[in-house]
Homo-oligomer: A and B are copies of this chain.
């Protein structure tokens, strides 16, 4: 198979972890006889510095002309810590998601047996965790009208959802549940928000066409607790943009490190693959960032194109790195292995 892949390293540790994904995809290419063409493009703070925009037109064009996008991370404290600046790096990512209509952000959370001791949580509590979050990614309060009235000093954000926006991701979530443990948990705040009440109505009505799937609803405040106390109760979690952001980061506590969790952002035309972790500027260029989340995101890219054998080989190589303890210090404090070394090890073991 030939795939054109746009590569957007972004800010902080983004470029160095994505470099490891590329090594792994190169290894898949050789082992399985595919052709992957990589095209790098600027986004985020670097794009602001070099092109004056966090999402230059050229980058968007490269993404639109590719079969898939590998994304690193975004955000630099000198920009997002300053509420007076008019543009900031994250706007590049938000605009990209919107332009490509990437409406579903799929975030699996699994506990790897070899790493179970890394989680600060009870082994008993987490050992059977295997859930996937379907986070709506192109609507909600992230994209509603915003305003800052300098006369009244009132700032406003608007959260809107249409039935169609809810409907399309709901179908994806129920279809995913069919091939899993057949349970969907809708997380919302329907006791307060009008948008949540529309989510409940739409999801309940759609659930009737999936009679073999159990639907459960949970308020976000309770869900945030359950995610820690008893994450194995979940199969598919369906939720809006903001709640999905919070819940999926929390999932990293269960997994043992935020450096482990991959994600896929999909729409009808495009698909982007990115680790859920942020840009961690403090770790930049120190060769300590965990590349596994980025590498597993490349694995989700392979799955997306039905290259399942290839994806399995990549995951097997990751598991081997865990069992051989070839891991970065976030996983094992005493580990001396760097980002590069772990990336090489995993790439070399894809077979």
| A154: chain B residues within 8 A (beta carbon) | 160-163
Task: Give chain A interface residues in 94-121, CB to chain B under 8 Å.
Answer: 94, 120-121
| Chain B CB within 8 A of A222 CB | yes
- Establish whether residues B120 and A192, one from each chain, have CB atoms under 8 Å apart when the complex forms: no
Task: Give chain A interface residues in 54-86, CB to chain B under 8 Å.
Answer: 75, 80-81, 83-84
Residue contacts A-B, CB under 8 angstroms, 17 given:
A83-B200, A84-B201, A90-B192, A120-B121, A120-B122, A120-B125, A141-B157, A146-B194, A148-B197, A148-B198, A155-B161, A155-B198, A156-B159, A156-B195, A220-B245, A222-B249, A225-B258
Instruction: Count identical subunits in the complex.
Output: 2
| A147: chain B residues within 8 A (beta carbon) | 194
| Chain B CB within 8 A of A221 CB | yes
| Chain B CB within 8 A of A153 CB | yes
**Complex: how many Å from CA A146 to CA B160?**
10
| Chain B CB within 8 A of A273 CB | no
* Nearest CB in chain B to that of A230: its residue: B120
| Chain B CB within 8 A of A334 CB | no
| A189: chain B residues within 8 A (beta carbon) | 242, 245
**Which of B141, B164, B249 is the one whose CB lies under 8 Å from A193?**
B141
| A190: chain B residues within 8 A (beta carbon) | 80-81, 83
| Chain B CB within 8 A of A253 CB | yes
- Establish whether residues B228 and A120, one from each chain, have CB atoms under 8 Å apart when the complex forms: yes
**Which of B84, B94, B250 is the one whose CB lies under 8 Å from A224?**
B250
| A83: chain B residues within 8 A (beta carbon) | 190, 197-198, 200-201, 204
| Chain B CB within 8 A of A179 CB | no
